Amino acid sequence: MICWRRVRAIARKECYHVRRDVRSLLMALALPLLLLLLFGWALTLDVDRIATVVCDSDGTPQSRDLIERLRGSRYFRIVAIVSDSGQIERLIDRGACLMALVIPRGYGRNILASDNSEIQIVLDGSDSNTARIALGYATALLQNYDAAIRKVAFDRQGAPEQAALIEARLRVWYNPELRARNYLVPGLIGLIMMIIGALLTSLTIAREYETGTMEQLLSTPVRPAELVLGKMAPYYLIGLVDLAVCVLVGTLIFQVPLRGNPLVLFGSSAVFMFGALSLGMFVSAATRSQTIAFQLGILISFLPSFLLSGFIYAISNMPSVIQVVSHAVPARYFITLLQGVFLKGLGVRLLWFQGTMLIIFSAVMFLLAVSKVRTKLV
């Protein structure tokens, strides 16, 4: 049985240390906010205002109209209009543009005569993902412009307008504006909570060994589970404060909608925070060195959560072996749960699996931390 009086005594002792170490306390409170603001503004998957160079060899009203449409699109930013296609390579080599549009001679005449009209698109393929997206934007713009010109030509000739065989009406659910920030901010909250939770407690037990105060704990009747719970208690409260700050920043500053039940959000986050803190306690007890514990805490919290959680890279596109490994990353389930609560308004009925995996993660990490502390105390 756990004696809660001893747990409170250990927690009080740890609170005294936290109060004395003001710099660490300020870092624990300010770092999540700083990371969320930095990543939220700097990290984006939106591709717009693509630096574009235009080479207009036609000089007709049709080519100028096309250039104006390109300039009026929010996806493109014309940085130069050149007359020689040879200048395009030099501009791309200097990094002045990502895409170039080459309008050949006779383009206007051909498009008015409903003949095949060709336009060359040159892309810098060193950033393949952005180049692929830019090509899709440019293709859609050219197709829309071609359809508009042909409609005008048919009207002038008195020909009946040809109805499209397929009319696509798109409806985007959960994120109708396709704002990458709505997708990234919930994932950032999960990533930050994992990092902060592991780092907050990764130095606690190791600090006791380095300062020699572990001998005093050995002489007391405190049990390993009581020691772990007591040392985790103040950092657990700090982690919940960090979570509340991140949620407020995400909803008020980044305007990410919170469509789900806040109780589901904070309840699942509390379970995840307990597991992350237990992970830090396990690392601290296993290493006995604050330096090694800090480095190992960053390694096992940040890298798997960033790369294997589906936060940036889709898990379905990873090799099958990596997909299997990703099931052992708790941030995968937590980020999925956060995105479901924020964007889709899902509840416990649909997120029970992710919640169950978080409970298992927290229980396993707590038992590991207790067992490692038990090994050190014997």
Q: What is the DSSP string of 232-271?
A: HHHHHHHHHHHHHHHHHHHHHTS-----S-HHHHHHHHHH
- How far lies 174's CA from each of 180, 236, 297, in Å? 12, 32, 35
Q: Residue 36 and residue 57: Cα distance in Å, rounded?
A: 47
Region 236-265: what's the mean pLDDT? 91
Q: For the chain, which domains are there?
A: 10-44+179-377 (no CATH), 50-157 (3.40.1710.10)
Average pLDDT over residues 362-371: 92
What totals of helices (H) and strands (E) does the chain contain, helices first? Answer: 15, 4
Q: So what's the pLDDT on residue 377?
A: 46
Q: How far apart are CA 135 and CA 154, in angstroms?
A: 28
Q: Return the closest-CA partner of residue 243 out of 261, 279, 268.
A: 268
Average pLDDT over residues 146-156: 70
Residues 6+ apart with CB under 8 A from 106: 58, 117
Is residue 164 over pLDDT 60? no
Bridge partners (DSSP) listed for residue 51: 77
Question: Which residue did the predictor score with more confidence, 3 or 172?
Answer: 3
**Average pLDDT value over all residues in the chain:** 84
* pTM confidence score: 0.79
Per-residue pLDDT tens for 207-244?
A: 877 777 776 776 778 888 888 898 899 999 998 999 99
